[in-house]
Structure 1
C-alpha cells in the first residue's frame, strides 16, 4: 500500500511539474510536436492532443504508445493518466481506441471457423498452440459459449514457443481443422497429421497480427472493434459478444 501511495504521489508531483512548466512556456500542438521531435528525432508522432490537465499534452507515437509531455517537451511522463472524478484511466481509454479493429475487414479466409449452435454471434481469436493461456481459454472460458461463430487465427509466437509453428502447420493441414484444434488444445491429444500442405496463410496471419498490434496470445476481437488480450472469463466474453 505504501508503495502504491508513493507511486501516486510521484505521478501527481510529476504532472504538477509538467503543467507548471507548460503554462510558463505556452505553445500549441504543432509546437509540442516539434519540441518532442527535437528530443526524439527518430520517433514517429502519429497525433498530439491536449488533455483535461491544463498544460499537459498526449502524444501517440509509433507502436501505438501513449506518452505525456509539457509544451516544450522538457519533461516526459509514461503511465496512466487517471480521471479521479469518473474513476477511469484516460490512458486505457485511448489505448482501446487505438487498438480498435474493423471486424468486417478481417481476412476470415485465413482463419478456421467453429460454428456453435446457430452461430449468430461472432468473435475472432489470435492464438498459439503452445500458449498455456490459450489452452486455458479453450478449456475454460470458451467451453460453454454457445450460439457463436469463432474464427481462429493461428498466430504462433516462435520466439517463446519454437515448436508452435510446426504444430500450427499440422492443424492448418488437417482435413478437420476445428477437430484437430479442439482435440489438441482441450483434450490434450497429440497432433499426428502432416505439416507439408500450403501454409502460406500462416505467414499472412503473422503480418496481419503485427499490423493490428497483436503482441501476445490469446487476443480476442469482437464485432464492436474491441481487441482484448488474455484468457478472460467466459462471463466477460458473453458481455463483449453482446456489446454494441
Structure 2
C-alpha cells in the first residue's frame, strides 16, 4: 500500500516514474551469464509476454520481460491448423544474413558461369561425404549453383585437418588446393592470416554438428550429403 501511495503522489506532482524497458532488463540479465556470443537484437515475440532474443550467430532464445526467465526451444504457430515453426524461420533468416555477409575473399569459392543462387558449405577435407559432394561441384556449377566453402575441421582448430585447411586458404590457388586435398593428395604447407578457426567457431555457434553442413542462400540448413541435382533444386527453391 505504501508503494502505491508514493507512486500516486509522484504522479500527482508531475514527476515521472522511470522503469527500465524490457530490452534493457533482458540485456542486463544476459550480461551476467557471460554468454560466448553477443545479443544482436531484442523484440517482442508473437506470443504475448515473451521477448525474442536474437544472438549474433542468428540463434534465438526467449525471455520474460524482466529477464529472469529464459526459454530455449521452438515456438510454433498453430492458428490455421498447421505447425509453423516461427523460431526456425527467424533463425534461418538471421543465419542467412550472417553467412551472406562473410567476405568472399575469406571463402573458397567455386563460381558458376551463370549463377542463379549459392550454397555455403561448412566442410572438412577428411570427410568422406564432403569429398563425394566436392566431386559434384562442376555439376552444381553447371546447374547455376555457386559453391562457397567455409572451414569446419571436425577435430577442432588445433587438429591436422585444420592445419591442412589453413594451407588451402593460404595457397596461391585455393580452389586447386581444395580439390587436391579432397582427392586425398598432399598439398604444400602454407601459412598466412586465415579465417579457419573463426569459421569453425561460427559453425559451432550456428549449430553445425557434422560435415558437410550445407546452408542455402536463405539460411536453411541441409545437413549431410545430397546429390547435385537434388541439392540444386532445393537451393533454387530457397534463395
Which TM class, normalised by the smaller chain length? 0.5 to 0.7
Query: For the Cα contact (< 8 Å) 1:113–1:149, is it kept in 2?
Result: yes
Cα distance, 1:71–1:236 mapped onto 2, change above 3 Å: same
Q: Deviations over 1:64-109 (max 9, x none)?
A: 4422233344543211111123421111112112212377754323
Cα distance, 1:40–1:119 mapped onto 2, change above 3 Å: same
TM-score (norm 1): 0.63
Cα distance, 1:71–1:127 mapped onto 2, change above 3 Å: same
Give distance in 2, aligned partners of 1:68 and 1:236. Answer: 32
Cα distance, 1:30–1:153 mapped onto 2, change above 3 Å: same
Which residue in 2 is equivalent to 1:120?
115
CA RMSD of aligned residues (A): 3.9
Which residue in 1 is equivalent to 2:52?
58
Q: Deviations over 1:103-140 (max 9, x none)?
A: 77543234444345x34335243322123452353357
Residue 204, structure 1, aligned to residue 190, structure 2: no
Which residue in 1 is equivalent to 2:13?
none
Which residue in 2 is equivalent to 1:162?
159
Structure with the greater alpha carbon radius of gyration = 2
TM-score (norm 2): 0.64
Cα distance, 1:92–1:71 mapped onto 2, change above 3 Å: same
Query: For the Cα contact (< 8 Å) 1:101–1:226, is it kept in 2?
Result: yes
Cα distance, 1:178–1:158 mapped onto 2, change above 3 Å: same
**Contiguous gaps of at least 5 residues in structure 1:** 1-27
